[in-house]
Amino acid sequence: DVSDPSLLKASSAIFASAILSVFPMAITLGLEIKAFKCKDIKHGDYQCNLAMPLYQKLKAAGIPLPHGVDSPQKVAQLIIDEILDQDEESNPVLCDLSVNGPGFIMSRIKASYLSNGVNCIIREGAPSMPKTCGGGRSSSSSSNTTTTTTTDATNNSNSDNTVVVDFSSPNIAKEMHVGHLRSTIIGEAVCRILEYTGSNVLRVNHVGDWGTQFGMLIQYLKEEYPDFAAAGQSDGNNDANMPNITDLTLFYKNAKSRFDESPEFKKISQLNVVKLQAGDPECQRIWQVLCDISRREFEKVYNRLDITVEECGESFYNDKIPAVIDEFVDRGMISVEEGGAKCVFVPKFKVPLMLQKSDGGYGYDSTDMAAIKYRLHTVKASHLVYITDFTQGDHFQMVFAAAKKIGWVNDDSHRLDHIGFGTVQGEDGKRFKTRSGDTVRLVDLLDEAVSRMESSLKERIAEGRANISEEEVHETASAMGYGAVKYFDLRRNPTSNYIFSYDRMLDTKGNTAIYLLYAHARLESIITKGKADHGIDIDALIREGKAQIVLAHKSERNLGLHLQCFADSIEETLKDLYPYHICDFLYELSIAASEFVTQCKVLGSPEMESRLLLCRATAITMRQCFDLLGIRHVMRI
Ligand code: ARG
């Protein structure tokens, strides 16, 4: 479809129609007709590499070629001639076509197409989203009419398209650590991207509130803090006797060592788990208190980072597990191990999933099997996403395989994804720890990022280089500090490990949130100056429908081309759900923007109006990306 906001699709469509009109029999040859973005912009914008395989296949199939066409280059030339014959309506996209090397077809994007694209961003106040997600470009570029397309993603949401994203998922009574930070950051971005593209997203916090750790915690509290265990009322933070998360972590440590040392303690603890899971009131009460303490701590992190996630922890599935086990039993899929544990074997894995332990208790596997059934059949989600560290990869492959084996999954309509991320390391390359060897508290880490940012902003103010006042420092520093932590994670393939470094994530140069946020603020500050010093009010121009961008200079054109790649970066992201595609797009966009503002005089130039508008189109697109990544933007720094 030549009107697709995806440049890849629009240009592919033009190559396809030309190829099929010159070689109608190409359709029978099983070739996929696709365009690619050129690696080096010097040679072209988009290219099609099909002439070579097409020539080979036509020859092999004995299909006669037109007279004189005896090489892939000549096939390429025929395709080009066909495209050049097409009128503006059939080909609004490609120009400057040429044959390169053994038969590559190189092309440029028409200037009119690019300027239509940027004018559309200004008109709509948003970049064009992919057509597959309900986007599309209003066909006429007449600037007087009101907008005809909607960019509001909620209008495109399709109720059949429910996605459950299981992310963050910390464990009760343990501190949230950097691993959970990764899951939280990646998960929030994945949710935002899916929501933007029209999915109905359920954000699920599969909190570890039901594990064997509760048996020992309950026992430890009963023994060491009988009063607390007996009263066990949680009535908020002001209760002085109420332990906080740090106490809880200590309880956990102590309980754990007692559990490892004393067989007796171990035995009672294990019994407590069974009692808790069977609904024993005392155990339930203590458990509730423990959960509340942790929950309050998790909330702090979520509030700071603008995370929205609905708690639906392991305990929620407790009463759904027996029926799931029965279903496996009925289907003859259970093998009972020595001791009585009930297991399910799936293809390719030597170890089984354990649906019930020999003592009758349920574990991580039991819960996840009940949860996957619930999400597929009760929630009726068509897409499930789980975001955890990579070491749980096998666990999820087994859960998926078991769900398929028992027939819960329809291969045509269900999609199951596990995003397994790597480890966060300290500067020493080992797992990220504090100096004393403890896990780093998430809240401390976030505070540190903000406080470093505050110092650097205050320095700027003192040097007279800032556009903000002292009062605005904290808010700006928070946006930048949290943004920096998030972006440092999101900009890479999640499967990779990374070294946590404040210096690198807070760097004003390179691929960091700080660089990008400055780049964005710089564009907005040019716009502000345009109005204040030169009397050009682009907001008024936009309102009155008088905004027109002309891309004349090379760097203007290049920026226009980059802006046009937004839809493709979204489509790319939807394939593997890795937000780094959007980061790559954003970073390249801001490099193109910075080239534009250094090479083209904006303020006081004859082209000022158009150039200010180009700044705005870029800022709008950058803001959309920040928003998708869960990063707060700032208009001034
Ligand atoms: N609580 C687990 C952990 O800290 C993550 C849970 C992930 N979700 C799930 N459905 N198993 O590793």
Q: For a substitution probing ligand 1, which of 206, 315, 376, 417 has the most ligand atoms within 8 Å of its CB?
A: 206
621 has a pLDDT exceeding 60: yes
Distance between Cα 557 and ligand 1 center (Å) = 47
241 has a pLDDT exceeding 70: no
- Rounded CA-CA distance 549/296 in Å is 50
ipTM: 0.99
- Rounded CA-CA distance 486/185 in Å is 6
pLDDT grade, residue 9 (50/70/90)? Answer: very high
218 has a pLDDT exceeding 70: yes
Q: Is the CB of 609 under 6 A from ligand 1?
A: no
How far, in Å, are 132, 228, 249, 266, 321 from residue 270 at the CA level? 52, 21, 20, 6, 19
Q: Report the percent of the chain where pLDDT is more than 90.
A: 81
Distance between Cα 455 and ligand 1 center (Å) = 37
Could you report the per-residue pLDDT of 324-370, keeping only the tens digit for each? 999 999 999 999 998 999 999 999 999 999 999 998 888 999 999 99
pLDDT grade, residue 151 (50/70/90)? Answer: very low
Q: Tell me which range, 54-68, 121-135, 390-404, is most confidently predicted by mean pLDDT.
A: 390-404
Q: Which atom of ligand 1 is nearest to the CA of 395?
A: 11
What does the pLDDT read at residue 242? 66
Q: Which atom of ligand 1 is nearest to the CA of 180?
A: 4
589 has a pLDDT exceeding 70: yes
Q: Is the CB of 388 under 6 A from ligand 1?
A: yes
Task: Say if residues 143 and 547 touch (Cβ distance below 8 Å).
Answer: yes
Distance between Cα 169 and ligand 1 center (Å) = 5
Q: For a substitution probing ligand 1, which of 166, 167, 169, 210 has the most ligand atoms within 8 Å of its CB?
A: 169
How far, in Å, are 2, 10, 128 from residue 132 at the CA level? 14, 13, 11
What does the pLDDT read at residue 86? 95
389 has a pLDDT exceeding 90: yes
Task: State whether residue 1 is helix, strand or coil.
Answer: coil
DSSP code of residue 388: E
Q: Is the CB of 169 under 6 A from ligand 1?
A: yes
Q: Is the CB of 195 under 6 A from ligand 1?
A: no
Q: Which atom of ligand 1 is nearest to the CA of 386?
A: 8
- The CATH architecture assigned to 442-629 reads Orthogonal Bundle (1.10)
pLDDT grade, residue 548 (50/70/90)? Answer: very high
Could you report the per-residue pLDDT of 501-542, keeping only the tens digit for each? 999 999 999 999 999 999 999 999 999 999 999 999 999 999
Q: Enumerate the β-bridge partners of residue 353.
A: 344
Q: For a substitution probing ligand 1, which of 294, 392, 395, 398 has the most ligand atoms within 8 Å of its CB?
A: 392
Supply the residue whose CA is at minimum distance from atom 11 of ligand 1.
Answer: 368
Q: Which tokens in the block code for residue 637?
A: 């720094």
Distance between Cα 77 and ligand 1 center (Å) = 56
Give pairs for 468-471: CB < 8 Å, separation 24+: 468/636, 468/637
Residues in Cβ contact with 527 at an 8 Å cutoff, skipping those fewer than 6 apart: 538, 612, 615, 616, 619
Q: Is the CB of 213 under 6 A from ligand 1?
A: no
- Rounded CA-CA distance 45/100 in Å is 13
- The mean pLDDT of 293-319, rounded to a whole number, is 95
Q: Which atom of ligand 1 is nearest to the CA of 208?
A: 1
pLDDT grade, residue 229 (50/70/90)? Answer: confident
Task: State whether residue 58 is helix, strand or coil.
Answer: helix
72 vs 25, residue with greater confidence = 72
- The mean pLDDT of 286-300, rounded to a whole number, is 92
What does the pLDDT read at residue 148? 33
Q: Is the CB of 587 under 6 A from ligand 1?
A: no
Q: Report the percent of the chain where pLDDT is more than 70.
A: 95
Q: Which tokens in the block code for residue 374?
A: 């619930």
Q: Backbone phi, then psi, for 417, in 5-degree steps?
A: -130, 135
Q: Which tokens in the block code for residue 469?
A: 């006042």
Distance between Cα 316 and ligand 1 center (Å) = 14
- Rounded CA-CA distance 212/579 in Å is 35
Q: Which atom of ligand 1 is nearest to the CA of 389?
A: 12
Q: Is the CB of 562 under 6 A from ligand 1?
A: no
What does the pLDDT read at residue 240? 52
Q: Is the CB of 368 under 6 A from ligand 1?
A: yes
**Terminal-residue alpha carbon distance, the chain:** 42
Distance between Cα 265 and ligand 1 center (Å) = 26
* CB atoms inside a 10 Å sphere around CB 536: 18
DSSP code of residue 212: T
Q: Is the CB of 206 under 6 A from ligand 1?
A: yes
- Rounded CA-CA distance 278/318 in Å is 9
CATH annotation of 7-109: 3.30.1360.70
Supply the residue whose CA is at minimum distance from atom 4 of ligand 1.
Answer: 170
Q: Enumerate the β-bridge partners of residue 384.
A: 164, 416
Could you report the per-residue pLDDT of 168-198, keeping only the tens digit for each? 999 998 878 888 999 999 999 999 999 999 9
Q: Enumerate the β-bridge partners of residue 343.
A: 335, 354
* CB atoms inside a 10 Å sphere around CB 263: 8
What does the pLDDT read at residue 251? 87
Distance between Cα 164 and ligand 1 center (Å) = 14
What's the whole-number average pLDDT of the chain? Answer: 92
- The mean pLDDT of 618-624, rounded to a whole number, is 98
Length of the chain: 637
162-421: CATH homologous superfamily? Answer: HUPs (3.40.50.620)
Which of 86-90, 143-147, 284-288 shows the lowest mean pLDDT across its residues? Answer: 143-147
Please tell me the pTM assigned to this model: 0.93
Q: Is the CB of 420 under 6 A from ligand 1?
A: no
pLDDT grade, residue 267 (50/70/90)? Answer: very high
DSSP collapsed to 3 states, 555-595? HHHHHHHHHCCHHHHHHHHHHHCCCHHHHHHHHHHHHHHHH
601 has a pLDDT exceeding 90: yes
Distance between Cα 408 and ligand 1 center (Å) = 21
Could you report the per-residue pLDDT of 71-107, keeping only the tens digit for each? 999 999 999 999 999 999 999 999 999 999 999 999 9
Q: For a substitution probing ligand 1, which of 315, 373, 388, 398 has the most ligand atoms within 8 Å of its CB?
A: 388
Could you report the per-residue pLDDT of 421-465, keeping only the tens digit for each? 999 999 888 888 877 777 788 889 999 999 999 999 999 999 999
Q: Is the CB of 564 under 6 A from ligand 1?
A: no
> How many C-alpha atoms does 475 have within 13 Å on its Cβ side?
11
| CA-based nearest residue to 182, from 495, 415, 587 | 495
Distance between Cα 378 and ligand 1 center (Å) = 21
Task: Say if residues 197 and 567 touch (Cβ distance below 8 Å).
Answer: no
What does the pLDDT read at residue 239? 53
Sorted by where each begins, the domain ranges of the chain are: 7-109, 162-421, 442-629
Angle at which helix 513-534 crosses helix 580-599, to 10 degrees, equals 40
Q: Which tokens in the block code for residue 208?
A: 């570890």
Q: Is the CB of 571 under 6 A from ligand 1?
A: no
Distance between Cα 433 and ligand 1 center (Å) = 21
Residues in Cβ contact with 367 at an 8 Å cutoff, skipping those fewer than 6 apart: 210, 314, 317, 318, 321
What does the pLDDT read at residue 1? 86
What does the pLDDT read at residue 232? 52
Residues in Cβ contact with 56 at an 8 Å cutoff, skipping those fewer than 6 apart: 72
How far, in Å, are 52, 289, 312, 443 from residue 245 at the CA level? 65, 11, 20, 12
Q: Is the CB of 166 under 6 A from ligand 1?
A: yes
Distance between Cα 10 and ligand 1 center (Å) = 41
